[in-house]
Structure 1
């Protein structure tokens, strides 16, 4: 009985050594096993990416967050009258009492011109950095004498000497200059007003309100010229809301990779983007946006109509590392396939433990890539990590295969594979196309090389 079991064991061991099917099963099992540490690598990249975002958010909160400007808006108080009737039991008559209430009309400017210059730089904390900027925003334009009779407001009910200018904006902490607005050559300072809903900047903005425009009489003027400037320390993006009947924006910056965002794009004829920065111009007329120039009792939320420029890095090192790790299964599978074909065609025995060591070396590439890229740029990190892994596996293959031509072929194959993956990572619009063509060519090569293998033997 023991002799029979021993013979069966020997047969099974011999089948493992000589059978192509058995080797395929073992290699496939090892690939599945190696997906476990590969998943931990993906988790590590995600963790470091989240840590980077937390640090960037902390830097931005201290330096200054995104910048959006909604204004200036003319705030005009007007009188409304409420009549109440009270029945008098003694006289058997109704007494009429009229109460005066103050409400507000909000008037947008006829023209609004903004000239924005943003000087960007990077701030570092440890291994992480954030792109921030200091921007000088100069606004000018004019209000015209508003006709509120269409809104049912008589001109004599408007309290002209209590008019104010309102500017709604984000990032009050980032403002670095005294806020003054000059209207018809007279300056008016601003003060902030409390808004309990400012935690959600997507829907609410902080509010700055000027002193009373007590010397400004719209009844005697056809138009009121204004200008003011705002200097911000900010990050992420700069946007304005086109509340002028005609709104123009000219933005310049030393930021080389702008992303134009929002409801309107700059004019292609005047847009310039170089390695030293960009220049862009917008012009929006009232027919381009679906809101009016006058509002009663409220300032509408028009954030959806904002436009401007985003100053964030489009693809950072962690995003590239994450995209690279997504090809980990392909790298391990193709490398194992090369060793499997060499083993099958040359009859050289490669132990499953040796396959495992090769797989772990391939996974170490991603650990090296992430750790080095935190201290250098992605290209240098990719070169160091890939060259280190290629040399390690090539030398290890030399000790296994006892020849020079097969390890050389493996080194060339790994170099081509890592180069192919780097090219795909750099591409955005054509990544799927190039990746599909590359995998098709790899499949064709494998089919060509393996055509003479006798798959029936084992």
Structure 2
């Protein structure tokens, strides 16, 4: 008898190992289908529209710089470096950004697969105070002191022509960067001092490798700045041609900023229609930046370098707001340093990509700047690549109930389900003296195994809970009908069927509680073990053997 009991337990253990191998094969099928679904979504993004990343609009002004030039005596070669161009930036003193997004899973489909897309309107309400910005630009681009700008010694006729900076105010543009302009169905409308202006695509891009639309700043706004700058440049040229004593006496004049008394703020409103897939990131710039996002999506995943300062979830969706002064100021520094590189040798890359594992953008790889250096001769050579990442934050609209993730979670309890079923059969043999053949164990195990084979393809076609209910009902019904003949009675079959149905219902309850599924699973295993120990507490295993 001992040999018979040991043989039966060995057969059950062998069947469990076989089914564990089979479950591993189903797991590989789930992984393959998941990768295929991710590749389809990536293809949709490439053919239609990518995830979006929007940099807060700012003003870019082309600038031409002539380096210091060493003028030697007649008949000798002068050491003069060629002029180079760079871009000066003006950021808003205050920005209130609003994003109203409508999220849908029905816009882009490939068979049974679909991408989560959004369509909405982005509004940037900005305020610029140009007198402060122009004063800052003047101080940054003012010529060197007269003592450095003119040298004439008795032993040498060499003269140094001072560095000259020309700011092209008439070419100032409001830059609205969007990572994928395919998502901008209509060109945005920009309202500057209550005057609507239609944005245009740049004919000659100021910024390399950055997709954006632009609006020319009206000349009347910068007219005072242009006059003052021209006046100051005239003073600089006068100082450069004066004698040493005159230059030294005029040093205080050359270091003064333009006399700008106009402190009136300029309000700029940008209405940007935007569509995208999966996620939306925003790069804040300026001095005071606030972002408010509203959407009908019920399960957002907040991504990026900062979480929202406040968020609210309702039956209609969610609302979140961000404000992070440190990240905003850091972006101002990184972006202005990059754009002011000589001859536009710094490339800003703004591109949101899909992460195949989570279908969200990797924030650290959002924006990269490739910098260069300028030699003494004025030429620019590529320096060792230095990655500069601008700070961004946003929302990923990944589906909260991913069918592949839920099927994978359900499979984690598969072996426990098989063990409980085989253990129940074994207890019927021990307690009720039923005779169950190993082939019958095998058939019941196969029916339990088929549940997962049915669950995955059904979940790809219909809602997961419906797929789970159909697959579980089919398997429980089949096994219940079969155990009526195996156990030889309707009462025993009903007990086994009710136990199996309770297990499936319990496992589904554990799957639906995402935050506590591990805790509930551990408690459930403890309860099952306690039930088995209570049921077998009075069995004399030596007598049975």
Q: 1:377 to 1:144 in 2, by over 3 A?
A: same
**Which protein has the bigger strand share?**
1
Query: What is the CA-CA distance between 1:347 and the residue it aligns to?
Result: 2.1
Report if the CA contact (8 A) 1:71-1:167 is conserved.
yes
Query: What is the CA-CA distance between 1:209 and the residue it aligns to?
Result: 4.0
1:369 aligns with 2:455: yes
1:191 aligns with 2:196: no
TM-score normalised by length of structure 2: 0.72
1:151 aligns with 2:161: no
Which of 274, 299, 306 is 1:257 aligned to? Answer: 299
Query: What is the CA-CA distance between 1:299 and the residue it aligns to?
Result: 7.4
Report if the CA contact (8 A) 1:237-1:308 is conserved.
yes
Report if the CA contact (8 A) 1:76-1:158 is conserved.
yes
Q: How does 1:359-398 map to 2 (within 5 A)?
A: 359-398=445-484
Alpha-carbon deviations, 1:19-62, whole Å to 9, x = none? 22211111000110112222222122222222322333333444
Q: Residue 272 of structure 2 aligns with which residue?
A: 230
Report if the CA contact (8 A) 1:190-1:211 is conserved.
no
Query: What is the CA-CA distance between 1:92 and the residue it aligns to?
Result: 6.3
1:116 aligns with 2:99: yes
1:171 aligns with 2:180: yes
Query: What is the CA-CA distance between 1:389 and the residue it aligns to?
Result: 1.0
Q: Residue 154 of structure 2 aligns with which residue?
A: none
Q: 1:391 to 1:94 in 2, by over 3 A?
A: closer
Length, aligned pairs only: 433
Counterpart-to-counterpart distance in 2, 1:372 and 1:241? 41
* Stretch deviating more after TM superposition (143-152 or 71-80): 143-152
Q: 1:186 to 1:97 in 2, by over 3 A?
A: farther
Q: How does 1:10-25 map to 2 (within 5 A)?
A: 19-25=4-10
Which of 25, 36, 41 is 2:21 aligned to? Answer: 36
Query: What is the CA-CA distance between 1:134 and the residue it aligns to?
Result: 1.0
Q: Residue 405 of structure 1 aligns with which residue?
A: 491
Report if the CA contact (8 A) 2:284-2:331 is conserved.
no
Q: Residue 105 of structure 1 aligns with which residue?
A: 88
Query: What is the CA-CA distance between 1:215 and the residue it aligns to?
Result: 4.7
Alpha-carbon deviations, 1:96-133, whole Å to 9, x = none? 64754332222221111222211222224322233212
Counterpart-to-counterpart distance in 1, 2:424 and 2:327? 64
Q: How does 1:442-457 map to 2 (within 5 A)?
A: 442-456=528-542, 457=544
Q: 1:366 to 1:205 in 2, by over 3 A?
A: farther
How well do the aligned residues superpose, as a CA RMSD in angstroms? 2.9
1:283 aligns with 2:323: yes
Query: What is the CA-CA distance between 1:194 and the residue it aligns to?
Result: 9.2
Alpha-carbon deviations, 1:282-327, whole Å to 9, x = none? 3343587534465433576476521222222123122111110121
* Stretch deviating more after TM superposition (248-257 or 55-64): 55-64
* Stretch deviating more after TM superposition (95-104 or 225-234): 95-104
Counterpart-to-counterpart distance in 2, 1:380 and 1:163? 59
* Stretch deviating more after TM superposition (235-244 or 217-226): 217-226
1:53 aligns with 2:38: yes
Counterpart-to-counterpart distance in 2, 1:278 and 1:255? 7
Counterpart-to-counterpart distance in 2, 1:56 and 1:188? 33
Counterpart-to-counterpart distance in 2, 1:341 and 1:321? 30
> SS state of the match for residue 199, structure 2?
strand
Report if the CA contact (8 A) 2:285-2:328 is conserved.
no
Q: 1:78 to 1:153 in 2, by over 3 A?
A: farther
Counterpart-to-counterpart distance in 2, 1:274 and 1:125? 31
> SS state of the match for residue 350, structure 1?
coil
Q: 1:430 to 1:106 in 2, by over 3 A?
A: same
> SS state of the match for residue 343, structure 1?
helix
Counterpart-to-counterpart distance in 2, 1:304 and 1:314? 28
Counterpart-to-counterpart distance in 2, 1:125 and 1:79? 51
* Stretch deviating more after TM superposition (357-366 or 384-393): 384-393
Q: 1:242 to 1:226 in 2, by over 3 A?
A: same
Counterpart-to-counterpart distance in 2, 1:344 and 1:194? 86
Q: 1:97 to 1:366 in 2, by over 3 A?
A: closer
Counterpart-to-counterpart distance in 1, 2:289 and 2:441? 66
Report if the CA contact (8 A) 1:60-1:132 is conserved.
no
Counterpart-to-counterpart distance in 2, 1:156 and 1:87? 22
1:126 aligns with 2:111: yes
1:206 aligns with 2:211: yes
Q: 1:205 to 1:326 in 2, by over 3 A?
A: farther
Counterpart-to-counterpart distance in 1, 2:390 and 2:420? 48
Query: What is the CA-CA distance between 1:245 and the residue it aligns to?
Result: 0.9
Counterpart-to-counterpart distance in 1, 2:196 and 2:415? 69
